[in-house]
């Protein structure tokens, strides 16, 4: 079976079945749909395997079109849109049971020197002073949540105490922050690190929307699903080192919530930015 990190690496290790066609596993799950971060991460692996290694990915933009079915393999078809002198572009379509469930466009850029500036990292507690999410949930919930397994490859630590009561939720601002890193070493392949971060970027981002509505863990009052996802990669990083994921929601309306995230390494360098819109539809009781 291997460790959770071994399982993540195996999940992101696609089978090449043709020059530009790859197949990825989709693990069995008690949930009704495949985790969006898995599909985005696998699609980025497929795209990255058709690009020269001196051109790292600098951005991806994607849409979740249909829910994926757990336990059914996903085929990723890569279109080599352009290979210029400095930039390459790839388009990926994810297909399951003959239907398109996801599409992604990624852009790659040869490294260049340029001006440097960034938003400052917020002042938050050091990860070593915080409890892991698994430890917190074991002490607060009688039964583990059904979606907790997708988080096992990562050590996730919220920078503020989780809110459990209606009074605490009512006082919440639409923002959240976590430290995260993989539970073990990932090796030195840069593609694996950017794809692991892409997977992780979908784990907690919509917390910034949900935190003002209900406790983040426990019974849900809303049907939630990722609608789209975009990531910009600014600087090199390692997903097996601590990264701060600062998240906020500037708007929620019409059954949708928008969330923005920034990844900082422990030294304060901004390494990636993320934007996602999610569906928030009240569950019918």
Active site (catalytic) residues:
202, 226, 276
Q: Given pLDDT bands bounded at 50, 70 and 90, which one contains residue 285?
A: low
Band of pLDDT at residue 13, cut at 50, 70 and 90: very high
DSSP state of 257: E
What is the structure's pLDDT at 27? Answer: 84
Q: In the chain, pLDDT over 70 holds for what percent of residues?
A: 97
Q: In what order do the strands lie in the sheet with 154-158?
A: 15-18, 21-24, 74-83, 87-96, 99-109, 57-64, 222-233, 270-282, 256-265, 243-253, 175-182, 154-158
Name 214's Cβ contacts closer than 8 Å, sequence gap at least 6: 169, 220, 221, 222
Contacts of 165 (CB under 8 A, 6+ apart): 215
Q: What is the pLDDT of residues 143-153, one digit of tens each?
A: 766 666 667 89
Average pLDDT estimate for 94-121: 96
261 strand-pairing partners: 247, 274
Q: Model-level pTM?
A: 0.94
The predicted structure's pLDDT at residue 1: 61
pLDDT at 223: 84
Count Cα atoms within 13 angstroms, Cβ side, for 20.
Answer: 10
Residue 210: partners with Cβ closer than 8 Å, 6 or more residues away = 216, 222, 224, 257, 280
Q: By three-state DSSP, how is residue 36 classified? A: helix
What letter does residue 283 receive in the DSSP assignment?
Answer: P
Q: How many CA atoms lie within 13 A of 224 on its CB side?
A: 26
Return the number of other C-beta atoms located less than 10 Å from residue 184's C-beta: 14
pLDDT of residue 145: 67
Contact 154, 204 (CB under 8 A): no
Separation between Cα atoms, residue 140 and residue 133, nearest integer Å:
11
Nearest-5° Cα angle at 148, 142 to 150: 165
> Do residues 231 and 225 make contact, with C-beta atoms less than 8 angstroms apart?
no
Q: Average pLDDT, stretch 63-78?
A: 96
Please name each of the domains of the chain with its CATH number: 4-111+129-282 (2.40.160.210)
- CA terminus-to-terminus distance, the chain: 38
Q: What was the pLDDT predicted at 154?
A: 93
């Amino acid at each position: 079976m291997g460790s959770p990190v071994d399982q993540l690496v195996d999940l992101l290790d696609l089978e090449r079945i043709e020059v530009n066609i790859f197949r990825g596993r989709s693990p069995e799950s008690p949930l009704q749909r495949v985790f969006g971060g898995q599909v985005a991460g696998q699609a980025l692996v497929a795209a990255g395997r058709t690009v020269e290694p001196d051109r790292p990915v600098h951005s991806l933009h994607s849409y979740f079109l249909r829910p994926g079915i757990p336990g059914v393999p996903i085929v990723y078809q890569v279109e080599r849109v352009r290979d210029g002198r400095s930039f390459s572009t790839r388009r990926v379509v994810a297909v399951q049971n003959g239907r398109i469930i996801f599409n992604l466009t990624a852009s790659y850029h040869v490294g260049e020197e340029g001006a440097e500036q960034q938003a400052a990292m917020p002042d938050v507690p050091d990860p070593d002073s915080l409890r892991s999410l698994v430890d917190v949930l074991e002490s607060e919930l009688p039964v583990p949540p059904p979606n907790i397994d997708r988080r096992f490859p990562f050590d996730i630590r919220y920078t503020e105490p989780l809110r459990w009561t209606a009074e605490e939720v009512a006082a919440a601002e639409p923002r959240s922050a976590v430290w995260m890193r993989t539970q073990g070493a990932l090796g030195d392949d840069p593609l694996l690190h950017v794809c692991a971060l892409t997977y992780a970027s979908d784990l907690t981002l919509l917390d910034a929307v949900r935190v003002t509505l209900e406790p983040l863990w426990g019974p849900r009052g809303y049907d939630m699903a990722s609608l789209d996802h975009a990531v910009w990669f600014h600087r090199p990083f390692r997903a097996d080192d601590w990264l701060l994921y600062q998240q906020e929601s500037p708007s929620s309306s019409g059954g949708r919530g928008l969330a923005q995230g920034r990844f900082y390494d422990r030294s304060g360098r901004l390494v990636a930015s993320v934007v996602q819109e999610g569906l928030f539809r009240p569950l019918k009781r």
